[in-house]
Structure 1
Amino acid sequence: MTRNFDPSLPLYQQMAETLRHEIESGVYPLGSSLPTEAQLCESYAVSRHTARDALRLLEQAGYVSRRRGAGTYVEAVRPRSRYVQSLESIDDLFRYAHDTRFVIDDVKRLKPNATLAAFLDTPPGNPMLRLTGRRYPILSDRPFSLTEIYLDRKFESALPTIESHRGAICALLEELFPVRIKRIGQDIQALTLNDEDAARLEVKPGTAALKVVRRYYDSDGALLEVSSNLYAAARFTYSSWIDRDETA
């Protein structure tokens, strides 16, 4: 690598950061081509898989376009504002979290009243943790999401690890506790941002937004986590694929 990075970052993210810096500094000017995957593997001493993931991040951020059989070309010297999230499985959701940064602004311990408990699908008064913060694309310092995460207080011992963790919190819970995510429920709602939320997302009040609430359950149907994510519409696209089951 040509720059120093946090060793806790995955190698493909470090490589993407280096290439981003080289694009922005003019090493690879607008319209030029990046080295081939094979050349990148040799230069950075990484696997083909690592090189491809680094280029994927650059493509998601709008820096490059990739053309089959033609190479990778620089399309912009600044990241685009829109983030595209493509989910088809629980593993995709875990990878999405690895490709973004969740910066925690506040942690509170609370016992939800009847209204909040109904939203969280948990009994009123059940001790909970609430983590609030903002989520950023790996290659950008501009937030695309306001996020609240609610956890049962039984996971409080993991809080110091959660605050420094870079991946999906639900995946971390699986590592630290004898739990397994079996099912995720998702609700999507269109709304407009109030003054406070707009300021935190660095957009104008009244901007269109998507609110995505996910509830994570284990194999016994017990609730493990609730996440509430507020996305500025101009910065976020939700993409999914639905296949027809031909076996029926």
Structure 2
Amino acid sequence: MVVMSSEEFAPPKYAQIVQAIRQKIADGTYPPGSLLPSETQLVREFRVSRPTVVRALQVLQLRGVIEREHGKGSFVKATPPGSPEENTRPGRAVLDRVEADENGSVVDAGPFAADAVVAKLLDVPKGSPVVRRRVLFRDVERPTDLVTLWCSAHQADDTQLGEAAPLTSGIRQHLQTRKGLKLQHVVERLSARHPSADEAKLLELRKTAPVLGVLASVFNGGGRPVMVVDLVMPGDLHELEDSYSL
């Protein structure tokens, strides 16, 4: 019989950092709105590499626990009194990610004809002109997730969504700054599946590898769909967790 050590059952280093930071948020060490230690400080504290710290912060951001601001650092999100804890809203977190800060590379961006699925979600006729933007995020070891965004061509006018350069602000902030558009509501559909051939190639996965998929429809204050976001994450790097009142 082979005896396994406890270390072989331990979660990955980045997941241990995620757990430690969330515990410090829960016990008040890092209160809502506070600035987390810098990446350099976290590297020293946990005795890990910078990519490991970056991956942990990415997971925390994807779960909606923290916000990362270009040139400022990572802040604990404030939860409004009396509202359910929004500690994991992947669609919302994607809208606040800063591509330039998180090693995001634009795979493609530009005009696209809406297929049947995208057209239905955007409430436009099939074949309507839309803008598609695909961004691959990675650390030094491997790709961590793939984000694809579709929005109508007129919504993308006067924005950088159709350009190949990584955005220096989150999509939500970018649209509000450029268009005065406020995104108000997200409907998410979660799935566990195998990647498409294209996703497997970009994420450097086997075709039979499990991935987590989040398909999010984003609406404005009037209840009209503004964009569709598809987030694909390797199953061995991510887990989704939620917390809610009974």
User: Shorter-chain TM-score: what band?
Assistant: 0.5 to 0.7
**1:79 aligned to 2:63?**
no
Change beyond 3 A, Cα 1:95–1:200: closer
Aligned match of 1:190? 192
What is the count of residue pairs matched by the alignment?
183
Aligned match of 2:79? none
- Larger mean CA deviation between 220-229 and 107-116 belongs to 107-116
Given that 1:184 and 1:214 are in contact with CA atoms closer than 8 Å, whether structure 2 keeps it comes out as yes
| Percent of residue pairs identical | 14
Change beyond 3 A, Cα 1:222–1:202: same
**1:54 aligned to 2:38?**
yes
Change beyond 3 A, Cα 1:123–1:205: same
Q: CA deviation at 1:144?
A: 1.1
- Match 1:109 to one of 108, 111, 117: 111
Q: CA deviation at 1:114?
A: 3.6
Given that 2:136 and 2:147 are in contact with CA atoms closer than 8 Å, whether structure 1 keeps it comes out as yes
Q: CA deviation at 1:76?
A: 5.2
TM-score by length of 1: 0.61
1:194-227 Cα offsets, whole Å, 9 max, x none, are: 4432221122221100111111111101222211
Aligned match of 2:228? 226
Q: Which runs of 5+ in 2 are unaligned?
A: 1-33, 65-85
What amino acid does structure 2 have at the position aligned with 1:168?
A: G
Aligned match of 1:151? 151
Aligned match of 1:31? none
Q: Aligned equivalents of 2:232 and 2:172: distance in 1?
A: 18
Q: CA deviation at 1:243?
A: 3.0
Give the 3-state SS of the residue equivalent to 1:237 in structure 2: coil
Q: Aligned equivalents of 1:113 and 1:196: distance in 2?
A: 17
Change beyond 3 A, Cα 1:120–1:76: same
Task: Give the RMSD, CA atoms, in angstroms.
Answer: 3.4
Aligned match of 1:97? 97
Aligned match of 1:206? 208
Q: Aligned equivalents of 2:160 and 2:109: distance in 1?
A: 9
Q: Aligned equivalents of 2:188 and 2:207: distance in 1?
A: 26
Aligned match of 1:127? 129
TM-score by length of 2: 0.61
1:39-74 Cα offsets, whole Å, 9 max, x none, are: xxxxxxxxxx55x2524x976xxx56xxxxxxx331
**1:238 aligned to 2:240?**
yes
Given that 2:115 and 2:127 are in contact with CA atoms closer than 8 Å, whether structure 1 keeps it comes out as yes
Given that 1:94 and 1:171 are in contact with CA atoms closer than 8 Å, whether structure 2 keeps it comes out as no
Q: Aligned equivalents of 1:177 and 1:150: distance in 2?
A: 16
Q: Aligned equivalents of 2:107 and 2:235: distance in 1?
A: 22
Q: Which has the larger radius of gyration?
A: 1
Q: Aligned equivalents of 1:76 and 1:110: distance in 2?
A: 40
Q: Aligned equivalents of 2:95 and 2:115: distance in 1?
A: 33
What amino acid does structure 1 have at the position aligned with 2:46?
A: Y
Give the 3-state SS of the residue equivalent to 1:79 in structure 2: helix
Q: Aligned equivalents of 1:95 and 1:120: distance in 2?
A: 17
Change beyond 3 A, Cα 1:86–1:223: same
Give the 3-state SS of the residue equivalent to 2:236 in structure 1: helix
